[in-house]
Amino acid sequence: MKAIRVENPGSGYQLVVGDIPRPVAGEGDVLIKVAGAGLNRADIAQSMGQYPPPPGAPETLGMEVSGEIVEVGSTVTEFRIGDKVCALVPGGGYAEYCVASSGCVLPVPAGVDLVDAAGLPEVHFTVWTNLMDSARLQPGESVLIHGGSSGIGTAAIQLCATRGHTVFATAGAKDKCAACEKLGAARGINYREEDFVAVTKEATRDKGVDVILDMVGGDYIERNFRALARQGRLVNIAFQGGMSAQVNFGLMLMKRLSFMATTLRGRTVAEKTAIRDALARDVWPPIAAGRIKPVIDRVFPLAEAQAAHARMAQSAHIGKILLKL
């Protein structure tokens, strides 16, 4: 089958279409004929040789797919051949066929295009588990989402706005801030021109925000502590601005803050299945009702995976970049 191969892993990596054996579904798996594959920033890191797939995962890039089930494992009862689904996978998505653990599979929500559904799993698994499981977001609380126009950000803003939270979102350009507001943010904050601490403090009458979802880290850590309300929770899913920082932890002490950081990819299937079940219960219905939409920036043919990566590396996008098989 056709699949993308990374040649010369490192800063000058090339993505080329190659031929690899078609995978086979194990007993608890399904085999998906891929219609769409979502791009994630981790795919760039993996291509640069900086983020190897977890043990046992396919070498091929791609952490989420949509498509049609063509094989089911012997112990799988909840899916059938012919079902249209999307799935979180530990690798192997940039290919014609991809194996997924059945516990990481969800139906394509009503009204969502089959290819576009490839942009749903990674963002919604990540946003849900970080905001709900880790940060324990409560009804009525306010939220600051950094990188609001990212794939993750566009999902997080919509989820929080739909559930009635006041949402603030940072982004690096005027049109990106406008996109955040259109998705439901009360205020898009251009982080190149404005101080998110001052803006959120003013908007909350000096109380601060209850929860922050951050993908920047570095000097944002202390600034996030300053932007948080008493007993606020900060959860990091990436440290694009730096893994180290000089931080005044006295702020944590005085405000009784919690600071967490998590990754999704290395979790067990059982842990991912618990998130999948929560999504099926609480997130897929508002998606099917059209209240949360996949935000698709651009769809590239598989053979143009290199151009798709370049667009993500330049941060030219708003929402998800997808590959179409």
- Of 280 and 313, which has the nearer Cβ to ligand NAP? 313
Q: Which of 212, 223, 227 is nearest to 134 (CA)?
A: 212
- Of 44 and 288, which has the nearer Cβ to ligand NAP? 44
- Of 40 and 66, which has the nearer Cβ to ligand NAP? 40
Q: Give the interface with ligand NAP as residue ranges (CB under 6 A).
A: 40-42, 122, 126, 146-147, 149-153, 170-173, 176, 191, 215-216, 237-238, 240-241, 262-264, 312, 315
| Nearest distance, CB of residue 294 and ligand NAP, angstroms | 12
DSSP structure string for 253-274: HHHT-EEEE--STTS-HHHHHH
| Nearest distance, CB of residue 108 and ligand NAP, angstroms | 20
Contact 157, 169 (CB under 8 A): yes
| Nearest distance, CB of residue 279 and ligand NAP, angstroms | 14
| Nearest distance, CB of residue 96 and ligand NAP, angstroms | 23
Q: How many CB atoms lie within 10 A of CB 86?
A: 30
- Of 41 and 293, which has the nearer Cβ to ligand NAP? 41
Q: How many Å apart are CA 34 and CA 53, to the nearest integer?
A: 20
**Residue 76 one-letter amino acid:** V
- Of 115 and 189, which has the nearer Cβ to ligand NAP? 189
| Nearest distance, CB of residue 179 and ligand NAP, angstroms | 10
Beta strands in 129-286 (DSSP E): 142-145, 166-171, 187-190, 209-214, 228-236, 258-261
Both tokens of residue 301?
């043919």
